Structure 1
Amino acid sequence: MSRQFLAEGLELSGGDRGVVAVVAVVALAALAVGYVLLKEVLAAGQGTDKMQDIAKAVQEGAAAYLNRQFRTLGIFVVIVFVLLFALPADDLAERIGRSLFFIVGAAFSATIGYLGMWLSTRANVRVAAAANEEGGREKATRIAFRTGGVVGMTTVGLGLFGAALVVLVYAGQAPKVLEGFGFGAALLAMFMRVGGGIFTKAADVGADLVGKVEQGIPEDDPRNAATIADNVGDNVGDCAGMAADLFESYAVTLVASLILGTAAFGVQGLLFPLIVPAIGVLTAVIGVYTTKAKAGESGLSAINRAFYISAVISAVLCTIAAFTYLPSSFADLNGISDAVKSTSGNPALIASVAVIIGIVLAGVILWLTGYYTGTDHKPVKEVGQTSLTGAATVILSGISVGFESAVYTALVIGAAVYGAFLLSGSVVVALFAIALAGCGLLTTVGVIVAMDTFGPVSDNAQGIAEMSGDVHGEGAQILTELDAVGNTTKAITKGIAIATAVLAATALFGSYKDAIDQAVAKVGNLTGDLPISFTNVVFSPNVLVGVAIGAAVVFMFSGLAVNAVTRAAGAIVFEVRRQFRDNPGIMDYSVKPEYGRVVDICTRDSLRELATPGLMAVLAPIAVGFGLGVGPLAGYLAGAIATGTLMAVFLANSGGAWDNAKKLVEDGNHGGKGSDAHAATVIGDTVGDPFKDTAGPAINPLIKVMNLVSVLIAPAIVTFSIGDNASDPIRIAIAVVAALIIVGAVVVSKRRGTSITDTPAETVSNGAA
């Protein structure tokens, strides 16, 4: 069934609108719960005046960066809004809705990112203060996790409310309008991921190389000019970036589910994907409030227990909802084609099993990622042990962990996708089952966001404690433990985010094919077979070329992100060195470092560097689609998804293993802090920083942005390829312009260079590095 049929024939009854209204109310209830958690977090004590002064500096730096970033991205959003409005649509209302909800999706993504930053920069000092109190471990864990709970509830609340609002207003046209909503969320998330990732890792690498390696001072020593920027980066990269990333995963998965659901299940398929995340709101509340560390219990154990409890409850409630709301036969579904009505199988059973597959996938990814990045397991212990033979073996062992974990993770995700696909002999229904698996995974997104935010909040708390010198003994040990737990939870959520990206992108293939079929059906006076550019079988050479280009774009995107960190970190190294050299009093605490100068360098360089990867993500599908055709573009997407999955897991888990191997040594293993083994793990962690916090996480929104761009431009490619309006000159011209812009952006980026020489800080500040 095409979307054109749905737009004209699919209507919501009063009862259907009532269901959507209830979902909208649940979404607003999620926002209310988030507000309650927010008040609880802000009610906690803030520690000493010195701790509050440090926290204030981090708050100001983070807010200044995001404000500048949003002003920069605002121009880009306006340009995309105009281009979206120019793309073909069934009618003016659909065109206006798609463009307006692009703005809404971008605004929601930005709001969630900003909230994540704003609250985490206020919760960090409260976590540090709680660690000093009686029952410090339990109090600090609760504050850090409930900080994430606020962002998690806001993520599910805004995502679900936006989708419900579109369905209420547009009914059968909702899937098309939601393409704009998902694209806005994905685009902002990608820019926030790339920019925030460059900022945080430039500061972190610069701080480690000069402070820990060259000067031999602790990680968050106040004498290091990069420490404030490092703490700022944790918030704009991990909190703001990941919150926006998971929000757009939520939005894009809903888009794919609603597009495919209307074709597979009719009206019920349009509404059931809203019911599943509404149940996720309830389980998220349960998960957040059941996260309580028992006396002497590891914070990770408490967090994992809450996750599994919420996952089991989600599975049970979604199964009940499927058998209550959906019929037992396709013949009883409303608003579907005769071909789908004749499909065998039980829609309620298919939907419930698909959702359970997604929930189980989340649990398996949690365990698998925890195994490869946790300090209690063999892989990280082996990486730590290799520190006894130097930095080279640390790096080699970490790379090995990343490669191995990527294989198993890809197999697990592939098994989930194929398992959902096997639920029906109908391709349309099978694709909807894959989308529902994504919805099932995202029933736990509230807890997942809480887990992710826990990491940078704990990291910042330890930094504030160390810089202030006001947390000692057991309190300091508690913060060290929470920091290690946070490293693992961040790695886990990166793995789950990758899984959601793959499920959403795979489901979007169905909507991509639907967009092509619809556009072909509209072309008049078409005779004969379609051109070879429409061929989408994998053994066709032009499709294989598309696969290769898609894989190559992932490599280029990753390389650009890592190079950006290299350049920005070089500027930080020179600045911190200069301050130590020109102000000897810094080492004896008689002179205060110029923290703001480092924050300014990170801000400027990260905003400058995010343009090239962003342009590539948007324009590469346009160049391939208009230049080679819709068949090779399908191959391009397949190559990008497959390569992106492996690359993202490899980068995230290698970096996570290196980071926690360093924590093991700092806890007294293999010689402890100050030893040669410690220096080796610091080098490994420095290499892993742009892997796990810049390039790796940015691949998630990258593959979803490219898929959504492809869905949006598919009708235009068809229009210029066949029929009365076909125009090869226009089609080729669009492809050439897109390719030239990409080439120009890459050339400009490469001219900045990655060669680092010890030049004056003023030269570096002007962009010569």
Structure 2
Amino acid sequence: MSAFLLAAEGDVVSLSGGNLGYVFAVACIGVVALVMAAVFRREVLSADEGTANMQAIARGVQEGAAAYLNRQFKTLGGFAVLAFLLLLVLPGDWNVRVGRSIFFLVGAVFSALIGYLGMWLSVRANLRVAAAARDQGRDPAMRVAFRTGGTVGMATVGLGLLGAALVVLLYRDDAPSVLEGFGFGAALLAMFMRVGGGIFTKAADVGADLVGKVEQNIPEDDPRNAATIADNVGDNVGDCAGMAADLFESYAVTLVAALILGKVAFGEQGLVFPLIVPAIGALTAVLGVYITRTRPGENGLRAINRSFYISAVVSAVLCVVAAFVYLPSSFAELSDVSREIAAHDGDPRIVAAGAVLLGIVLAGVILSLTGYFTGTEHRPVQDIGKTSLTGPATVILSGFAVGLESAVYTALVIGAAVYAAFLLGGGVAMVALFAIALAGCGLLTTVGVIVAMDTFGPVSDNAQGIAEMSGDVDGPAAQILTELDAVGNTTKAITKGIAIATAVLAATALFGSYNGAVNEALAAAGAQAGELTTAFVRNVDVPNVLVGLVIGAAVVFLFSGLAVNAVGRAAGAVVFEVRRQFREIPGIMDGTGRPEYGKVVDICTRDSLQELATPGLLAAMAPIAVGFGLGVGPLAGYLAGAIAAGTLMAILLANSGGSWDNAKKLVEDGHHGGKGSEAHAATVIGDTVGDPFKDTAGPAINPLIKVMNLVAVLIAPAVVQLSVGDSANTPLRLGIAVFAVLVIVTVVTISRRRPTAMGAEQDRDAVSAQVG
């Protein structure tokens, strides 16, 4: 209510009537995007559901996915309440603190809604894709899968635009501070969903592959394998729900960074133009979804890439037009900017248009680069397939090398885009940082199509699984689903690459926001020059700042290790359970006995939810420990280290995992001996190593670095307040740091002490069975 009262008072409203109209139009476009999501959803649900056997299998997947997400959201409720209360006690204006806390919950709820919608529709679209392939052919099946992703994509951009526009309409000049809460809520929940869903899906996948393919020599989605239902459930809670929430938080956090910096760099227009750019992207995303059709004899990936490039080009043209129509020709004509920025001799239209174009071009380059390193038609994956002839060790070595090499090229491309955007600023720091944020907004114009591409993958994978488990799809229809599954593997890898780029741009822009927050807090505290140079210097050659940088990079490695270890533990439990069922339930192998699918789903659910607290508390507490313990300078170093290490690690994990997965697909298509050969077994081992890389640890790094940046921005005023001036309180500051360190040590210790499988009793049973 206080927001409405403040908005009604003319002396605090910073937006003119014309700009308010633009923001209102953006909110309306957000609503239009949600309407289009409903239209696409109706098209998907109107498709045929296939045979009764297919529907029965799909119901099992639907029930398992819904049960998992419901339990996950209940678990996360406590974290949300705690974060809401902590945001209230941070320094600042009471009205802003309340708004920030409320919109923290809004961001978290929106992220959860996107994830749940992605899961709910994908578990109903999977059998419809299988039925369409069986009865109608490739193009109808592909259309159902892509329209499913289109539904989630339009919901993502719709809720993102609507949420950001509402904050600007309600809070006007204070919108950037309130938006910190909105972005933090979206990022925190996305990280939890990414980690939890990733552990679930890869525990089931690895367990199913190791016992089913390697030990029992049965197909991937054979109904005799007790982990098959859990594997299909995991595709939806990890790749659909988790990735949808991940891309939504990328959308939200990039907008947050752009609006925070835009207010300083471009004044009133800086609160509006970052909303106009993704609003254009929302409209062109509809075009991208509708024009995705394969031509006769054309590979499905080529059709998807064509629609992506067309929508990206249309977005680029419209964004350039918007920049030259909306923005003035000189910085002096911008409303409410500093004298330094007003004296800038550049053209804001060229700066804005160039930055947006950089982001759009970056998306296209990463699409091509990631496709090259992970696609079955290119040399890297083909070379990994050839190494399968010499065993699993060479498969793992070659795939890991592909990940390392691709990380270098992709990081250099992202770095070049960041530096080019920085140069557009013409030497004015805030303008340069705003240009980087606008590059992220440019990349966001493609998010609607990117989400559609990502969701296409697990839906196609599930469709193939349902077809194989039901036995009702064979011949050309089965081959269509195999092709769509391979295309989906590549699109998932591509979207991970673009998500990483978005994360880096957003984190870099938030890094600038952090420096701005520190400077404001220092000025408010009346800090003297001596205090600044001794306690808060932010030069990287200062030892304490370098220590912070090393800690930031180390946290990324620790986070990745915890995530991979969690998958290993849960997968071990699944392996023991599936082995037990093959051993103890009579008739499984000849088809007369029915596996207990629910037990594997329960194991994956239990173990994934147990692991949620550790990465979440690590992401929140590590910046608190560094900031309050070492100061704002080392915290700046910490963020720089986390961004650099996170970029390389995320690309390494995503691309190595994607290349192993598609090398397996290459062999399964008949190369190097085909299914059942020793080469196939070698690529299966490589794929099981890559599963937690590409679907758990790698994607979770994206929200991790943004959560840590947002935590740093939020705590910066408190760190300064307790460190300089009349309110300095060293014992309290150090006490907070010690408490944060103790929390990290406790949760990591608990995580490390969890058993690597189900426990000693199961270990003894397994040994006894082998001896017997």
1:323-334 alignment runs, 5 A limit: 323-334=324-335
Counterparts of 2:302 and 2:455, CA distance in 1:
17
For 1:3, the equivalent position in structure 2 comes to none
Amino acid at match of 1:716: A
The correspondence of residues 178-577 of structure 1 with structure 2, limited to 5 A, is: 178-424=179-425, 425-524=427-526, 526=528, 528-530=530-532, 532-577=534-579
Q: Which of residues 46, 52, 70 is equivalent to 2:73?
A: 70
- The alignment partner of 2:276 has SS state of helix
Partner of 1:674: 676
Counterpart CA distance in 2 for 1:183 and 1:722 is 27
Residue 141 (structure 2) pairs with residue 143 (structure 1): no
CA–CA distance in 1 between the matches of 2:561 and 2:229? 27
**Residue 22 (str. 1) matches residue 11 (str. 2):** no
Q: Does 1:654 align with 2:656?
A: yes
- Match in the other structure for 1:751: 753
Q: In 2, distance between residues paired with 1:637 and 1:467?
A: 47
Counterpart of 1:173 in structure 2 is 174
Counterpart amino acid of residue 347 in structure 1 = P
Distance between the aligned counterparts of 1:456 and 1:292, measured in 2? 19
- Counterpart residue identity of residue 30, structure 1: A
CA contact (8 A) 1:10 1:335 kept: no
User: Which of 50, 57, 62 is equivalent to 1:59?
Assistant: 62
Deviations 1:361-414 (A, max 9, x none): 000000000000000000000000000000000000000000000000000000
CA deviation vs aligned residue, 1:713-738 (integer Å, no higher than 9, x gap): 00000000000010110000000000
Deviation at 1:525, TM superposition (A): 7.3
Q: Is the contact made by 2:202 and 2:691 (CA closer than 8 Å) also made in structure 1?
A: yes
Residue pair 2:571, 2:757 contacting (<8 A) in 1 also:
no
Q: Which residue number in structure 1 is paired with residue 727 of structure 2? A: 725
Any conservation in 2 of the 1:574–1:758 contact (CA below 8 Å)? no
Rounded Cα–Cα distance in structure 2 between residues aligned with 1:205 and 1:758? 21
Q: Secondary structure at the match of 2:700?
A: helix
Shift, 1:535, TM fit: 1.1
Q: CA deviation at 1:756?
A: 7.9
Structure 2 counterpart SS, 1:585? coil
Partners of 2:291 and 2:185 lie apart in 1 by 34
Contact 2:573 2:757 in 1 (8 A): no
Query: What's 1:158 paired with?
Result: 159
Query: What's the CA shift for 1:709?
Result: 0.3
Corresponding position of 2:3: none
* Structure 1 position 614 matched with structure 2 position 616: yes
Contact 1:8/1:172 (<8 A) preserved: no
Aligned to 2:15: 12
Aligned with residue 597 of structure 2, among 589, 595, 598:
595
Residue 131 of structure 1 pairs with residue 161 of structure 2: no
Measure the CA separation in 2 of the matches of 1:95 and 1:62: 36
* Contact 2:531–2:724 (Cα < 8 Å) also in 1: no
Question: Could you tell me how far 1:522 is from its partner in structure 2?
Answer: 1.2
Partner SS, residue 354 of structure 1? helix
Unaligned runs of 5+ in 1: 1-6, 765-769
Length-normalised TM-score, structure 2 = 0.97
Q: Secondary structure at the match of 1:422?
A: helix
| CA distance in structure 1 between the partners assigned to 2:293 and 2:481 by the alignment | 16
In 2, Cα distance between equivalents of 1:448 and 1:525: 46
Contact kept? 2:486, 2:662, Cα under 8 Å: yes
Aligned-partner Cα distance in 2 for 1:647–1:505:
15
- Is 1:261–1:269's contact at 8 Å kept on the other side of the alignment? yes
Instruction: Supply the distance in 2 between the matched residues of 1:405 and 1:231 (Cα, whole angstroms).
Output: 29
Query: What is the deviation of 1:545?
Result: 0.3
Q: Tell whether the 8 Å contact from 1:571 to 1:761 is kept in structure 2 after alignment.
A: no
Q: 1:758 to 1:461 in 2, by over 3 A?
A: farther
Q: Report the Cα offset of residue 762 of structure 1.
A: 11
Partner SS, residue 219 of structure 1: coil
What pairs with 1:33-48 in structure 2 (closer than 5 Å)?
33-48=36-51
What is the SS of the residue equivalent to 2:531?
Answer: coil
Cα deviation for residue 295 of structure 1 reads: 2.1
Q: Is the 8 A contact 1:30 1:281 kept in 2?
A: yes
- The offset of 1:760, in angstroms, is 2.9
1:686 matched to 2:677? The reply is no
Secondary structure of the residue aligned to 2:28 is helix
Deviations for 1:504-529, whole angstroms, at most 9, x for unmatched residues? 00001111011111111111475743
Whether the 8 Å contact between 1:262 and 1:270 is mirrored in structure 2 is yes
Task: Provide, for residues 151-197 of structure 1, a one-character-per-residue CA deviation record: whole Å limited to 9, x for no partner.
Answer: 00000000000000000000010000000000000000000000000
- Residue 593 of structure 2 aligns to a residue whose secondary structure is coil
State the alpha-carbon separation in 2 of the partners of residues 525 and 488 from structure 1: 53
What is the letter of the counterpart of residue 328 of structure 2?
P
Say whether the 8 Å CA contact 1:654–1:692 is kept in structure 2.
yes
Aligned residues of 2:556 and 2:642 also touching (Cα < 8 A): yes
Indicate the SS of the match to 2:424. coil
Work out the CA distance in 2 between the residues paired with 1:398 and 1:547.
Answer: 29
Distance of 1:63 and 1:532 partners within structure 2: 54
CA 1:614/1:455 → structure 2, altered by over 3 Å: closer, same or farther? same
1:514-564, Cα deviation, whole Å (9 max, x unpaired): 111111111147574325331111111111101100000000000000000
- 2-structure distance, mates of 1:533, 1:310: 50
Distance apart, 1:19 and its partner CA: 0.8
1:259-316 per-position Cα deviation (integer Å, ceiling 9, x unaligned): 0001111001110000001000111000000101122211101100000000000100
Give the counterpart letter for 2:633 in structure 1: G
Query: What is the deviation of 1:133?
Result: 1.8
Cα distance in 2 for residues equivalent to 1:287 and 1:524: 53
1:10 Cα offset (Å): 6.2
CA contact (8 A) 2:570 2:757 kept: no
Q: Within 1, Cα distance between the matches of 2:263 and 2:746?
A: 42
Give me the CA root mean square deviation.
Answer: 1.4
Cα distance in 2 for partners of 1:761, 1:589 equals 28
Long gaps (5+) in structure 2: 1-9, 767-772
Indicate how the Cα distance of structure 1 residues 545 and 529 shifts in structure 2: closer, same or farther if over 3 A, else same: same
Q: Distance in 2 between matches of 1:668 and 1:551?
A: 42
Note if contact 1:45-1:126 (Cα within 8 Å) is conserved in structure 2. yes
Question: Please, what TM-score do these two structures have when normalized by structure 1?
Answer: 0.97
> After alignment, is 218-227 or 12-21 more displaced?
12-21
Q: Secondary structure at the match of 1:81?
A: helix
Amino acid at match of 2:246: D
What secondary structure, in the 3-state scheme, does the structure 1 residue paired with 2:298 have? coil
* Percentage of matched positions with identical amino acids: 74
User: In structure 1, the residue corresponding to 2:355 is in which secondary structure?
Assistant: helix
What code does the residue aligned with 2:411 have? A
Cα distance in 1 between the residues matched to 2:690 and 2:529: 56
Instruction: State the secondary structure of the residue aligned to 1:327.
Output: coil
